[in-house]
């Protein structure tokens, strides 16, 4: 691991922890930990549970990206080169921003506008869509179905389509987050996410069936 290259990422990962430490004394002992679709708190717990937020978001994602190149049996991840490092930076940053947003809403005691979180996720979908076609076949990152893992051509075709679908889906999430009310947008976000996940999976299966028939 190149420590010099990783230092900015480590700093990004630590941001939510530093912010949490900064606001710690301002937080009540019992803080809101879950919100309904209208942005109202419906579950409270001890503020110490907030430490799990940066651990489960930026720390976990960053750790996965660090470990994967060493345990990838086909060594395909290493072939991505700088694209892999860029993807690691983007996803870690988004998870850190999301953690900061959640901690901030806990501090203020109100989720405010839940559409803000969906907007952040929509931007992430758009960026991921742009990177899908650069992901080499592997067992850890990307659209990993039995059919994409079995055929490199199916992997490539599925990720080419998946990239377009996630890009368009991300744009729709962004537009909905800006225009729709919280309750409606929550349903739209869940629907769009389900669609952009299912389409590449179904497409990979159809490609596999077509390939089987041709052989």
Give 16's contacts (C-beta < 8 A, 6+ positions apart): 53, 54, 57, 58, 96, 99, 100, 103
* b/e sequence 89-112, b meaning 16+ C-beta within 10 Å: bbbbbbbbbbbbbbbebbbeeebe
pLDDT digits (tens, 9 = 90+) for 190-215: 999 999 999 999 999 999 999 999 87
- Max Cα distance, the chain (Å): 67
pTM of the predicted structure, to 2 decimals: 0.86
* Residue 88: closest CA among 33, 163, 10: 10
Mean pLDDT value of segment 76-88? 86
* Residue 122: closest CA among 190, 174, 66, 186: 174
Question: What is the length of the chain?
Answer: 215
Distance CA 11, CA 17 (A): 10
Question: % helix / strand / coil in the chain, to the nearest 5?
Answer: 75, 5, 15
pLDDT band at 63 (very low <50, low <70, confident <90, very high): very high
* Residue 48: closest CA among 119, 104, 97, 103: 103
pLDDT digits (tens, 9 = 90+) for 100-122: 998 988 887 665 577 888 999 99
What is the CA 56 to chain-centroid distance, rounded? 12
Check: CB of residue 183 under 8 Å from CB of residue 37.
yes
Residue spans per domain, the chain: 1-112, 114-215
* Residue 167: closest CA among 118, 127, 197: 127
Check: CB of residue 67 under 8 Å from CB of residue 126.
no
Distance CA 80, CA 70 (A): 14
β-partners of residue 45 are 31
pLDDT digits (tens, 9 = 90+) for 5-25: 899 999 999 999 999 999 999
Tokens of 111: 């989720």
Tokens of 203: 């497409």
Give 173's contacts (C-beta < 8 A, 6+ positions apart): 118, 119, 121, 122, 125, 188, 189, 192, 193
Whether residue 38 has pLDDT greater than 80: no
β-partners of residue 148 are none
């Amino acid at each position: 691991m190149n420590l010099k290259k990783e230092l900015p990422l480590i700093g990004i990962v630590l941001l939510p922890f530093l912010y949490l430490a900064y606001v710690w004394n301002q937080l009540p002992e019992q803080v809101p930990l879950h919100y309904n679709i209208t942005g109202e708190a419906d579950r409270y717990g001890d503020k110490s549970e907030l430490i799990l937020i940066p651990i489960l978001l930026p720390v976990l994602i960053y750790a996965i990206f660090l470990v994967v190149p060493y345990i990838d049996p086909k060594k395909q991840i290493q072939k991505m080169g700088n694209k892999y490092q860029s993807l690691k930076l983007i996803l870690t940053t988004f998870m850190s921003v999301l953690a900061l947003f959640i901690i901030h809403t806990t501090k203020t005691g109100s989720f405010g506008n839940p559409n803000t979180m969906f907007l952040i996720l929509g931007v992430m979908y758009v960026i991921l869509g742009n990177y899908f076609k650069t992901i080499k076949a592997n067992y850890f990152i990307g659209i990993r179905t039995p059919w994409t893992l079995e055929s490199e051509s199916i992997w490539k075709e599925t990720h080419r389509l998946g990239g377009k679908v996630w890009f368009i889906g991300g744009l729709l999430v962004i537009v909905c987050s800006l225009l729709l009310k919280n309750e409606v947008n929550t349903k739209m976000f869940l629907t769009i996410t389900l669609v952009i996940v299912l389409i590449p999976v179904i497409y990979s299966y159809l490609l596999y069936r077509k390939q089987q028939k041709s052989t």
